[in-house]
């Protein structure tokens, strides 16, 4: 957190900051934001690129979670953090999101109808042992359909993110394709076992 704040393109203790979210925190961040905007994070895309052996999977059958990887753009939600509480707010974010060594924090460009800004985002850590950026969609669907852990099924995680994006008015074709594939896979399994 200290490194992330030190790298901010502004003095985060004197000026409000933005946090870009694209998965679990789309609707319920672990802090009280000042504002919320649907924005595009430029030069990055959402991907199931992070192995999850602890929360929605197990070491024997790891699930997958979302990260940002370089790409065209990712539409998500930016939350405005007050300068007075940014340190405490980010502590809550780090406690919620860094239970596994999945992410690095970076300041990335965002675009909204109100203009451009910079937001802090959790990006998939390419040097991390849980980074798996080259899985094809068929393999992703198989893992999501098969995995579950203490926080629930990996399929529920995908469903929750798709639903949150839908409520925000964001259509993500990549996630919708994966969700359709997971639903089909789960239906086929139920048919085989009945």
- What whole-number percentage of the chain has pLDDT above 90? 87
Query: Could you list the residue range(s) of the whole structural domain that residue 19 is in?
Result: 2-193
Query: How crowded is residue 187: how many other Cβ atoms within 10 Å of its Cβ?
Result: 11
17-21 and 35-52 beta bridge pairing: unpaired
**How far is the first Cα of the chain from the last one, in angstroms, to the nearest whole number?**
50
146 to 35, 63, 93, 100, 124: CA distances (angstroms) = 37, 8, 28, 20, 22
Rounded Cα distance between 48 and 174, Å, is 10
* CATH number of domain containing 75: 3.10.490.10
pLDDT tens-place values along the chain, 194 residues long? 788 899 999 999 899 999 999 998 999 999 999 999 999 999 999 999 999 999 999 999 999 999 999 999 999 999 999 999 999 999 999 998 888 889 999 999 999 989 999 999 999 999 999 999 999 999 999 999 999 999 999 999 999 999 999 999 999 999 999 999 999 999 998 998 87
Nearest to 73 by CA among 124, 22, 37: 22
Angle made by CA atoms 118, 119, 121, in degrees to the nearest 5:
140
pLDDT tens for each residue of 142-169: 999 999 999 999 999 999 999 999 999 9
> Number of structural domains, the chain?
1
C-alpha gyration radius of the chain: 17
């Amino acid at each position: 957190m200290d490194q992330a704040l030190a790298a901010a393109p502004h003095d985060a203790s004197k000026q409000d900051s933005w946090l870009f979210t694209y998965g679990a925190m789309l609707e319920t961040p672990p802090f009280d934001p000042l504002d919320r905007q649907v924005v595009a994070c430029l030069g990055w895309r959402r991907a199931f690129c992070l192995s999850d052996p602890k929360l929605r999977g197990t070491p024997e059958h790891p699930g997958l979670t979302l990260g940002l990887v370089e790409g065209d753009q990712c539409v998500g939600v930016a939350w405005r953090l007050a300068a007075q509480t940014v340190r405490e707010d980010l502590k809550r974010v780090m406690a919620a999101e860094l239970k596994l060594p999945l992410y690095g924090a970076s300041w990335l460009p965002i675009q909204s109808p109100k203009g451009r800004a910079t937001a802090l985002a959790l990006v998939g850590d390419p040097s991390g042992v849980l980074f798996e950026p080259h899985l094809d969609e068929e393999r992703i669907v198989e893992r999501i359909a098969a995995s579950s852990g203490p926080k629930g099924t990996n399929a529920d995680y995908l469903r929750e993110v798709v639903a949150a994006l839908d409520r925000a008015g964001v259509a993500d074709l990549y996630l919708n394709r994966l969700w359709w594939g997971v639903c089909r896979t789960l239906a086929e399994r139920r048919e085989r076992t009945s």
